[in-house]
Amino acid sequence: MRFGQERFAELEAQAIEENWPSDWCMAEAEREANRQTVLSNRPDADLWVFAYGSLIWDPAVQVEEYRYGALEGWQRSFCMQLEGGRGSPSQPGLMAALDQGGHCDGMVFRIAKDHLETETEFMWRREMFSGSYCPMFLPVETPQGSVQALTFVMDKNNRRYRPNLTPEETAQAIAVAQGSLGTNFDYLDSLVRHMRQLGLTDDAVFKLHARAQTLRKADQKLVP
């Protein structure tokens, strides 16, 4: 999912067709200013990025190295509302983000400094297209030592933030939501599958997956 500028034209047409909210996209100038600000004070060196969702299996940038990574004080949470892609305005889905509290096991990957400018442009288009994250540098523990990793955490001031859903409400939303990219459950299922392949654990996400799967099977049985 290498997010080129041409992808926005496709999404604009899709937004009109599917009646997405008017603020579905962060303005290009604002997104670029955010990238420049976030990266402005870091050392002239390779860049580490913490992956906890689809970046685990599809970073869509040139990667020099992967490591296991553990982030303290933040937890994987399906707290970002989706109104397009794998959800719709009438039946929103939910995407994984990082919310404060707890612990998150994931991966970190390294982007060589010679490719930093080009690759972070691609990354910001993909991760910050709607402006729902706050990119920041956080300490991530790896088997080879601690690294300061760029991490996209949930922006609590964004209207898509849904922090107070119960586990049942979350599972129900994921079980039924779908959009032009497919079902919301497929995203969760892919996340769980890749985490298990890598030996990453997250009991809350695994329980959510099991509950959403049960709800989907129950709905399918009701279909004539």
Assess whether 17 carries a catalytic annotation.
Answer: no
CA angle 170/175/181 to nearest 5° reads 110
In the set 28, 65, 119, 127, the catalytic residue is 127
CA 76 to CA 204: how far, in whole Å? 9
Decide: 73 and 108 in contact? Cβ < 8 Å. no
Q: How far apart are the first and last CA of the chain?
A: 37
Separation between Cα atoms, residue 144 and residue 141, nearest integer Å: 8
Provide the token pair at 21.
């909210």
For 66, 98, 114, 127, the CA distances from 46, given in Å and listed in that order, are 13, 23, 8, 19
- Nearest Cα to Cα of residue 31 among 50, 69, 5: 5
- What SS3 state is found at 106? strand
Helix (H, G, I), strand (E, B) or coil at 48: strand
**Residue 134 and residue 48: Cα distance in Å, rounded?**
16
Contact 115/63 with Cβ under 8 angstroms? no
Please list the active-site residues: 127
